[in-house]
Structure 1
Amino acid sequence: MTRVILVDDQTLVRQGIRTLLEIGGITVVAEAGDGAQALTILEEASGPEAPDVVLLDLRMPRYDGLWLLRKLQDAGREVPVLVLTTFDDDALVLEALRAGARGYMLKDVTVEQLAEAVRALADGGTLIAPSITDRLLRAIKAAPEPAGSQGVVVDQLTERELEVLRLMAEGYSNRQIAQLIHLAEGTVKNHISSILTKMGARDRTNAVLRAIREGLLG
């Protein structure tokens, strides 16, 4: 059973999202009203109590979603984070993805879409390409790279690595990629490790963002 922590400052919104998730067969194990509360919950959660996914609002008073993402990134915590947003700020969403969010969705999604997205992230996938808009794509291409970023030379990636990278961008998990291209899951993990190294990316989301920026996804 997929376990979720729900982080949103509005109680009514949390109740609505909880209802949607439960209809979709997802269990909400904890709720938080801001990033600080969520961080405390995550620090105390372990073993079977640890969440599979954090559903995170970006705009919250005091300790917002971006604050939490950066805290998790600094601590090396790799819990998958799915941002739920009204998408009124392209730059903020882009910054969230760069800070480690595995993807984002609008708050007007259907029950099926939300449940599918949560399960995809819990299974190691990302959720960027299926819901990305032209506005965000332009923002990714136009925004300056963070300090220390490296450019990507297409020839550095093998054809197989490019294939895996494109499937990563489409939100597939390691297991799904392995099934689609008929490889062992361990081999797929090795390809992803090589992709991250060659691209100088710290994680899957960062690799996909750089791939979009460099035009590697076709």
Structure 2
Amino acid sequence: MTFALDGLLWLDQPVIQNSLWDATAETLLMVGWSTLATVLIGLPLGLLLVTTAKTGIRPAPIVNQILSVIVNIGRSIPFIILLILLLPVTDWIMQTNIGWRGMVFPLAVGSIPFFARLVETNLLAVDTGKVEAAQMMGATRTRIMADVMLREALPGIIQSITVLIIMIIGFSAMGGAVGGGGLGALAYNYGYQRYLLDVLVITVIIITAIVQIVQMFGDMLSRYVDHR
């Protein structure tokens, strides 16, 4: 396979320029919405995994085992296979299974189990002495979860969200090869299929820049909320 090296096509062709901006916007949209859905579902799921454990504040071993199996199965399915398996469901829920909108649902489904385990890990790292002290003071389970566990684990959870976003960016680029839209689709359709190395390089640069910004912002926010 040979690539076109003569000139920067994305600067010379208005069509490529417009496609580049549109693809960047699509990537940000699919990553943003899927991250929001993942956090809204994965955070309480991770909290439930911790609280229903044998050593949790509300033990429910059977519920915990069922949730653990579901999460482990979700984590074990490769994203590209999950994307294909979910095509009918995605089409029903999102009214489409192509473009950036068609990627939001499978991205969220594939990321929720991963993020739930990250939340679980962060919550388990909270000093048990603080939880026991809150129980001795008569705090309710809800107050313990909100004011002790989540508060103490917040810096780590923010770092986990940062990791989550970067992972979703990678998944979204992968989905571009199967009609998912965004920068991944642009890199595949123009950079790979049409052998335009300049388009491929610029999409990689933009994705790298987005990842760096996300990581920097995540680190700053994590340090800001860390009062330990």
Same fold at TM > 0.5: no
Q: Which has the higher contact order (CA 8 A, sep 6+)?
A: 2
Indicate the structure with greater strand content. Answer: 1
Indicate the structure with greater helix content. Answer: 2
TM-score band w.r.t. shorter chain: under 0.3
Larger Rg: 2
